[in-house]
Amino acid sequence: MFVLGIIGSIAGGKSTASAILQELGATWINADAIARSVLDRPEVVEKLIGYFGDSIVLKSPPKQGTHPQIDRAALGKLVFGDDDSKRLALLYLESVVHPIVRHEIMSILKQCSQQQVQVALLDVPLLFESHWDVACDSIWCIDAPLQTRITRVQQRGWSADELIRREANQLSIDRKRALSDLVIDNNSSITYFTNIIRQHWQSLMQSLSPIGEVNTSVVHDSHCL
Ligand SMILES: CC(C)(COP(=O)(O)OP(=O)(O)OC[C@H]1O[C@@H](n2cnc3c(N)ncnc32)[C@H](O)[C@@H]1O)[C@@H](O)C(=O)NCCC(=O)NCCS
Ligand SMILES: Nc1ncnc2c1ncn2[C@@H]1O[C@H](COP(=O)(O)OP(=O)(O)OP(=O)(O)O)[C@@H](O)[C@H]1O
């Protein structure tokens, strides 16, 4: 099985690239989605309310259930920022969520391997920070200029500051670009971006043998498990 890591700037287009690659046949492992489902678990909710208090409880939950649900925007305001208390709060949140996410990703990767998936797509925003890079055979970085990304996040209701606050908690985009095997700039139309992704996918397919084994002549050893 070939493990392809997807990394990049916030709103650079990682999910868009992953969705295109999924259409082309890759199996998408989406860490943001896994982390979201972890935040729905009653035992996690209980721990987080114990630490952050009731201000992170969703006041009018869409799902009527038996346990409280997390107000993600409210929690985001408490953990993203450059003062010490927010940094500590983010560390706490990550100490609760990340081990479960890690475990989930490990078990999905294991299943993919058992099912002889040809390409597993590891879409993990904190790929290098969480050391998932060592599990990857190749890493693609999806990026776009800051102003383009600000316009994109504003459409999801974030301010430019929100984007910058979150990115301050990640490895810089320059480092991500430098550490990746391939950098794809997503600063044009979706159609153009789709074609570029398609071309790189075709090159990747050509580099893999018919049974899905990695052709070691084109893959960096340092990224192999
Ligand atoms: C604080 C939370 C509730 C805010 O939720 P919200 O719906 O506003 O954002 P969402 O989860 O969709 O994340 C959007 C982007 O923010 C960035 N981001 C999220 N968590 C982090 C983090 N711990 N450090 C740096 N950037 C982060 C990522 O680029 C991510 O793609 C949420 O981000 C969260 O639970 N974060 C901790 C879990 C985590 O680290 N997830 C990242 C993948 S494992
Ligand atoms: N080439 C493009 N042209 C126009 N809009 C785009 C383009 N690429 C992505 N978008 C849009 O920009 C937004 C951000 O893209 P996407 O969600 O793929 O980024 P991301 O890197 O996964 O974001 P995040 O870091 O928040 O997870 C989405 O609404 C997406 O539809």
pLDDT of residue 220: 36
Residue 225 burial (CB count, 10 A): 10
Q: Which residues are annotated as a binding site for ATP?
A: 11-16
Cα(192)–Cα(16) distance, rounded to whole angstroms?
12
The bound ligand whose nearest atom lies closest to the alpha carbon of 45 is: 1
- Residue 46 pLDDT > 90: yes
Average pLDDT of the segment spanning 68-88: 94
Domains and CATH numbers, the chain: 1-26+118-225 (3.40.50.300), 33-103 (no CATH)
Tokens 């190749």 sit on residue = 138
- Taking the CB of residue 45, how many other CB atoms lie within 10 A of it? 19
Ligand 2: does its nearest atom lie under 6 Å from the Cβ of 16?
A: yes
pLDDT at position 64: 66
Give the residue, by CA position, lying nearest to ligand 2 atom 25: 10
Q: Is the pLDDT of residue 62 over 90?
A: no
What pLDDT does 207 receive? 94
pLDDT bin (cut points 50, 70, 90) of residue 65 is: low
Q: How many CB atoms lie within 10 A of CB 38?
A: 18
Q: Is the pLDDT of residue 211 over 90?
A: no
User: Which of 7, 9, 10, 16 to mutate to test ligand 2, by most ligand atoms within 8 A of the CB atom?
Assistant: 16
Mean pLDDT computed over every residue of the chain: 92
pLDDT surpasses 50 at 223: no
Pocket residues: Cβ below 6 A from ligand 1: 10, 31-32, 35, 39, 72-73, 75-76, 79, 90, 93-94, 97, 101, 125-126, 166, 169-170
* pLDDT digits 0-9 by tens, 130-176: 999 999 999 999 999 999 999 999 999 999 999 999 999 999 999 99
CA torsion sign for 3, 166, 15, 141 is negative
Inter-CA distances, 71 with 89, 98, 100, Å: 15, 19, 20
> What pLDDT shows up at residue 110?
97
CA 11 to ligand 2 center in whole angstroms: 5
Global ipTM:
0.96
State how far the Cα of 161 lies from the Cα of 123, in Å rounded to an integer: 24
